[in-house]
Amino acid sequence: MLQLEVIGNLGNDAEIKEFGGKKYVSMNVAHSEKRKDGGETTVWVSVLWYGEGGALMPYLKKGTKVFLRGRLVAKAYVDKNNQPQCSVNVYANEVTLCGAKTENNANAQAQPTNVAPTADPTPGEDDLPF
């Protein structure tokens, strides 16, 4: 079995589709990498995730950054111009939100979070056994 892990942005809003009486969340994820020559290579991954997405469904919108892990299925085909192509498909068993693309990225600023400070252990009073 081939497993694939992808971090990328959704290319469209996720949709619930039904195949053979079972419901799946269908989405496309774009993974981009910068090349040394300054260009960029993007690979599109078609994803089917069993179920209805639960609490994540309202957040699976175009531009949202996700991490997914699942079974890889690569398929070779010939396109309408008679050129050989390959599609990358994943049957996901894990989907995690990594963040969202904001409409106004240029003006977006990080908001401070209210985190209680943790006390540093006093030297010599740690829990290490050595």
Coil/strand/helix, residue 77: strand
Domain that holds residue 96: 3-101
15-19 vs 3-10, strand pairing mode: unpaired
Read off the tokens for 127. 């829990």
Count helices and strands (H / E) in the chain.
0, 6
Domain count, the chain: 1
Flag whether 111 is in a domain.
no
Domain assignment present for residue 47? The answer is yes
Q: 60 pairs with which residues across the strands?
A: none
Asked if residue 11 lies in contact with residue 30, where contact means CB atoms within 8 angstroms, the answer is: yes
Looking at the predicted structure, is the pLDDT value of residue 118 above 50? no
Q: Is residue 114 part of a domain?
A: no
Give the global pTM: 0.68
Report the CATH number at residue 86: 2.40.50.140
> What pLDDT, on the 0 to 100 scale, is given for residue 100?
57
Given a cut of 70, whether residue 34 has pLDDT beyond it is yes
Q: What is the pLDDT of residues 75-109, one digit of tens each?
A: 898 999 999 988 889 999 999 999 755 554 433 33
Provide the 8-state DSSP code for 12.
S
Residue 130 falls inside a structural domain: no
